[in-house]
A and B are shown apart, each in its own frame.
Chain A
Amino acid sequence: MPQITYIDSDGNKHEVELPLGATIMEGAVQNDIKGIIAECGGSCMCATCHCYISDEFLDKLPEMEEEEDEMLEGAVAPRTERSRLGCQVRINAALDGLIVEIPQEQ
């Protein structure tokens, strides 16, 4: 299983293994990572699973749909080129070693 490192909203590091096909958001919720709220449960409806992806993985991520793009515009923490919604990124083998940073606000 790919290993993912979350840096939670308090700056603490958590290394976890996620099953293929799980989303970054689900991985955070299931592992009790602080800062991911995911109010809508992964329906791309609330922008409360905003996270920052480590640079070297940006081009390995699934492409962003228009909907996610729009939601990110409304996210509370500043949007950067590393911004994604955790519910829209599914873990695949190429994402082994991914580092996900959670902003302080959702």
Chain B
Amino acid sequence: MANKKLTWLLLGALLLSLCAGCSGSLKKEDTPTTITVWHVYGGQTDSPLNDLIAQFNQTVGKERGINVQVTSVSNTNTIHEAVLASANGEPGSSELPDLFISYPKTVLALPDDSILVDYRDYFSEEELSAFIPSFVEEGEVDGRLVVLPVAKSTEILYVNQTAFDRFSEATGVTMDALKTWEGLFEAAEIYSEWTDAQTPDVPGDGKSMFVHDYYFNYFQVGVESLGESFFDGNRLAFGPAFEQAWNLLAQASLNGGVWLRGGYATESLRTGNSIVSVASSASILYYSDTVTYSDNTSEEAIINSYPCPVFADGEKLVMQRGAGFCTVKSTPERERAAVTFLKWLTEPERNVDFVIRAGYMPVTQAAFDNYLPQAIEALDSPKYASLYQAFLETQADYEFYVPPQVETYLELETCLEDQVRAQLAQGRREYLDAAEPGSELLERISQERYSTFRQILGE
């Protein structure tokens, strides 16, 4: 009997040691779970998010065996194309990363949005209730929360104050003119004439005062602020308010007051080809304090921020921007790692630390209430202090406009951006080449270009 007991005891010990061996073989802490990220925060500049990711990897990442690797920092459109190519399995496309930045429009364009994690599977209701509700709603597609907000931006008016003050002194145009679109475009025409007059021997070399990063947003928010609907289903409505916005822009453009080349608004400010722009608050990273002219001389410039202009007879409406993070479904381990990072990034204090360096607003109420005011006070860069002052004024005086989820959104946006620039640039050339320029000709060219523009957009 005693022998039997001994046998069973030994067998039990053996089984236990085998089990211990099995569990011991998974040394998770030795091989971190590496997750890849495509994001947009910083573009080609020093990325504040990359710094935070490095911080995460060295602290929480090391503790929990997670290593976040940034494999692309670009813009939402590039990511949109890459994500769609990858999701559609197009030849030559990259493998989708674990995390990528996207607007809901990218998710809507996906052939199958079930490849994305529903954050409700990983965030408790309590955790989600910490976020600003409208930000969370924006990330919902077909009842699933697939885009998690981490930072929100709006549109801001940036002014090269050094250059504008010179212009103001010479012409009497004040900063008040930049509060409305009407005033801004009128000032742009004056600026073009003024700069042209500085080189009397070279006619028609006036410079543009103004550049808009997204003319699509100018029209969208402008039309909506004038009480009209911008979209008509999946197309543009083209109501009278749209025409009103077009006429203002066209007149200033044909007179040379608006920069119509492609690229971001920062380019023309950096090269001294324009001095006022409307762009995302996140563009602050790309505005340089130095303007470099074509003769390789450079000038230190003060870049100030102001709330976005509005139509004189329109509501104070401004675009709410800012994409969010999508997590691609993979293994529970990788998904958990990705969500761990996102939770870490959206903790109120850290979220403020991140957004304040990137020109964004935080996404949780606690961050707004408890950390943002102190962070703004502590800003030592006048450029950033000015931006957040404009942010606060915008928040106090404006209503935020959130674009609707329209399937053709990106298509319409891309087409409108190209065509506004192309048609107005052609109009500008026609006007410059005309033997007898004047308001009548200007109006005719404007209408012709609008008609072509509508035809192309209508198709």
Physical interaction between A and B: no
Residues of A within 8 A of B (CB): none
Give chain B's interface residues, CB within 8 Å of chain A: none
